[in-house]
Structure 1
Amino acid sequence: MLGYCAQAQDGHIGSIVDFLFNEETWRIDYIGLRVGIWKTQKSLAISIDYVSGHSVWSERKLPLSLSMEELEKLPQYRHIEREPWAIEVLPNSTSNNSHNAEAQTITESKMQRRSLFRSFCRLRGLHLLTDNKDSGCVIDLIIDDQSWQIQEVVVRVGWRIFLANQVLIPIKRIHSIRWGNRALIFSGTREELCLSPSFKAEEPVNKEICTRLYDYYGRPRDWEERRGQSFPSY
């Protein structure tokens, strides 16, 4: 979905450049949107509450339930200089209509719960550690575009790219993130990681793949709800 066009009710507004997520829950709270050109570019934080329906994969579009004028007045976000892995959503006091006031209220409510978020894009490229040893590299992540939960991690195992294998692991097997060391901590052994189900980017994470994955790692609580769905890699 990165690079998709965000579609307002009355036209195209900008390109999706990131997803801002809560590190504690692994849930996407905001979509990072780039609007404008050159010196007028801005980075807007769009609450996922304003995503109207599913993304249109064939057209690379994500429909939003706001007008272009309302989107322009939503808050911006920035990376924190003292903590480059953190993202701050900046409050916006320019709203002057009821719909935008509602958007501002939701934004401020989220910010009171957690003002700092993490960058989805900066997860990619992190090392994966097993027993404090470097065992792989994060290539991609799988998001459920209904719940906006990060569900799985795609990991490249092996150091020679032409011999490396890409495997899929559940996000629940990530014990923690060490941002300073650019690493995810896997709660398992290197052998367990290497024997994880393989992943191919051109194939959706469908029922068959989910069945193999969770036969190996154990079924999540929402297995009955999820097993009939397919999720693209973002």
Structure 2
Amino acid sequence: MLNVVSSLKGFELQAKDGSLGSVRDFLFDDSTWKVRWMVVDTGRWLSGRTVLIHPSAVVSADYGARELTVSLSTQQVKESPDILQDRPVSRQMQNDLCNYYGWDPAWGSALSGGGGMDGAGTSVIAAPLSAPIFFGASAVRETERGQIDLDEGDPHLRSVAEVTGYHVRAIGGTIGHIGDVLVETETWDVRYLIVETSNWWIGQHVLISPHAVTAVNWTDHQITLDLTRDKVKSSPPWDPADMINTKIQRQLHSHYGWPGYGW
């Protein structure tokens, strides 16, 4: 099921024995374009703490009540490793969380497959992905032997909130900015970037697959595509009020020559 990420923000996260807080953001991997973590604001329950919950922990969703249920207890979350807000989210932090909860650190990779909520709100337990450095700003440091320091920030971990508003540049010029992100909650793949075309094509929104992204410049807040502006302007029309069904996706992928999703 495709969901606009902004519609999932603010969902209450329900554990087996109580509320954990609300979803504040999602972190995705800019190399695999998969969601790796939900960023949860614990409010007064764990005052001053932000926790990361793996998408594979989600077992059901109630869209009417705006709730996600996870296969965790409040005590598990309370005793989980701390995420230091004055430091980037490192690979070591992520490894510590996976080891503590028993989550598969390879979840979401091409070899392990994925899972998540289906259209009925049930779940096939899956595993995680990655997204900009969330807490703080630090680049991964490589040693002289080419080894990566696990204590430094994961350079591929990016925040959806950060990416929103980034300028999108096609061949021939800018086409607009990122207005939102569409995620497939069965696999937690980032399926499409929703681009608001602004003054270039007033009032229009276009869907761009990560397949078209050739570069992401986190310093200049810009995403570069391998598409021409004319190609984008001749793409099948899309109204944000419409459901993103298989027919629309097939038309888009046929127009751009993108790989399909096994329809």
TM-score, normalising length: structure 2: 0.69
- Seen in structure 2, the aligned counterparts of structure 1 residues 38 and 160 have a Cα distance that, compared at 3 Å, is farther
Give per-residue Cα distances to partners, 1:162-197, cap 9 Å, x unaligned: x32111111211111001110110111111122233
- Seen in structure 2, the aligned counterparts of structure 1 residues 61 and 34 have a Cα distance that, compared at 3 Å, is same
SS of residue matched to 1:20: strand
Q: What residue in structure 2 maps to residue 128 of structure 1? A: 168
SS of residue matched to 2:75: helix
Q: What residue in structure 2 maps to residue 29 of structure 1? A: 36
**Residue among 173, 178, 189 paired with 2:228:** 189
Q: What residue in structure 1 maps to residue 47 of structure 2? A: 40
8 Å Cα contact 1:4/1:61 also seen in 2: yes
**Structure 1 segments unaligned to the other structure (5+ residues):** 225-234
**Residue among 191, 205, 223 paired with 2:244:** 205
Q: What residue in structure 2 maps to residue 2 of structure 1? A: 9
- Separation in structure 2 between the aligned mates of residue 212 and residue 36 of structure 1, nearest angstrom: 43
Bigger relative CO (Cα 8 Å, ≥ 6 apart): 2
Q: What residue in structure 1 maps to residue 146 of structure 2? A: none
Give per-residue Cα distances to partners, 1:18-66, cap 9 Å, x unaligned: 111111101111111110239923211111221114x221211111000
8 Å Cα contact 1:154/1:199 also seen in 2: no
Q: What residue in structure 2 maps to residue 59 of structure 1? A: 65
> What fraction of aligned residue pairs are identical, expressed as a percent?
21
Q: What residue in structure 2 maps to residue 230 of structure 1? A: none
For this pair of structures, how many residues does the alignment match?
213
SS of residue matched to 2:227: coil
Higher helix share: 1
8 Å Cα contact 2:12/2:23 also seen in 1: yes
**Residue among 12, 20, 26 paired with 2:27:** 20
**Structure 2 segments unaligned to the other structure (5+ residues):** 1-7, 108-127, 131-149
> Alignment RMSD, CA only?
3.4
After superposition, residues 159-174 of structure 1 pair within 5 angstroms as 159=199, 163-174=202-213
**Residue among 56, 79, 96 paired with 1:49:** 56
- Separation in structure 1 between the aligned mates of residue 46 and residue 67 of structure 2, nearest angstrom: 25
8 Å Cα contact 2:177/2:197 also seen in 1: yes
Q: What residue in structure 2 maps to residue 215 of structure 1? A: 254
**Residue among 198, 208, 215 paired with 1:176:** 215
Question: More displaced, 176-185 or 32-41?
Answer: 32-41
Counterpart residue identity of residue 101, structure 2: A
After superposition, residues 111-126 of structure 1 pair within 5 angstroms as 116=154, 117-126=157-166
- Seen in structure 2, the aligned counterparts of structure 1 residues 174 and 47 have a Cα distance that, compared at 3 Å, is same
- Separation in structure 1 between the aligned mates of residue 86 and residue 215 of structure 2, nearest angstrom: 21
8 Å Cα contact 2:172/2:229 also seen in 1: no
8 Å Cα contact 2:20/2:74 also seen in 1: yes
Question: More displaced, 100-109 or 38-47?
Answer: 100-109
Deviation of the 1:91 alpha carbon: 3.5
**Residue among 135, 139, 145 paired with 2:179:** 139
8 Å Cα contact 2:253/2:260 also seen in 1: no
Q: What residue in structure 2 maps to residue 149 of structure 1? A: 189
8 Å Cα contact 1:78/1:88 also seen in 2: no
- Separation in structure 2 between the aligned mates of residue 23 and residue 76 of structure 1, nearest angstrom: 24
Deviation of the 1:79 alpha carbon: 6.3
- Seen in structure 2, the aligned counterparts of structure 1 residues 105 and 12 have a Cα distance that, compared at 3 Å, is closer
Deviation of the 1:7 alpha carbon: 1.0
- Seen in structure 2, the aligned counterparts of structure 1 residues 101 and 25 have a Cα distance that, compared at 3 Å, is closer
